Amino acid sequence: MKVVLDACVLYPTILREILSDVAAAGLFQPVWSQRILDEWRLAADRQNLAAGVEIALLQDRFPQAMVLPSGGAEGLDLPDPADRHVVEAALAAGAAQIVTANLRDFPRGTLASVGLSAVHPDEFLRDLFLATPDPVLAAVAATEVRARLAGSALTRKELMRRARLPRLAKSIERLAGSGVAAQASSGEGWLR
């Protein structure tokens, strides 16, 4: 399943790492355009952060993700016409969904008219977790490990809160009594 990742879900490090690890596990094919990556870089520049290395690493990890939008969204009535390029990337790739934290920018009816839908990353990841928990748990665990290696003392709950993934966090907690959740709690078996 091809899914466009909007700049707003690529910019936050924790969220980007979880999404990219889940994609690397084969649960979805990420898609973006150069303009989406440029928006990410611009947002990072405004915060005096350098995104160039992260962008290059992501492009190297998913070389097939880049698409060249070729129009097709000119007549769509979006709240911000500048967001048409995201829809055009989805159409060019044959993607069914746009993962974005800015759902209000992509009205359901408007997207449905061209065969697309927009979904919040929390709902997207939670749905993937409910269908196939192990790869999503592994992605969360790997993100925790990277955060610790970078000197962060954040707990899983704090990482999930920062990534704005409360539904996913709650779904993981609900499985606390199962074997999958036992591995999640201990961190064992995630990075096979």
**Cβ atoms within 10 Å, residue 118:** 24
Q: Is pLDDT of 191 > 50? A: no
DSSP character at residue 18: H
pLDDT band at 92 (very low <50, low <70, confident <90, very high): very high
Average pLDDT, stretch 106-111?
Answer: 94
Q: Residue 58 has what pLDDT?
A: 96
Per-domain boundaries in the chain: 2-120, 124-186
Average pLDDT, rounded, for the chain: 89
d(CA 136, CA 5): 17
Predicted confidence (pLDDT) per residue in 145-164, tens digit: 998 898 888 888 899 999 99
Structure confidence at residue 187 (pLDDT): 46
Nearest to 174 by CA among 121, 141, 129: 129
CATH code matching the domain that covers 2-120, chosen among 3.40.50.1010, 3.30.70.1400, 3.40.640.10, 3.40.50.1970: 3.40.50.1010
| Helices assigned H by DSSP within 11-132 | 13-24, 34-46, 52-61, 84-93, 108-112, 121-131
Please name every residue paired with 4 in a beta bridge, in sequence order, or none if there are none.
31, 98
Checking if the pLDDT of 181 tops 70, the result is no
The least confident of 69-73, 114-118, 135-139, 173-177 is: 173-177
* pLDDT for residue 6: 98
Cα distances (angstroms) measured from residue 149 to each of 43, 50, 56, 153 = 25, 20, 21, 10
> Mind listing the pLDDT tens digit for each residue in 6-44?
999 999 999 999 999 999 999 999 999 999 999 999 999
What's the pLDDT at 178?
62
Percent of the chain scoring above 90 in pLDDT = 71
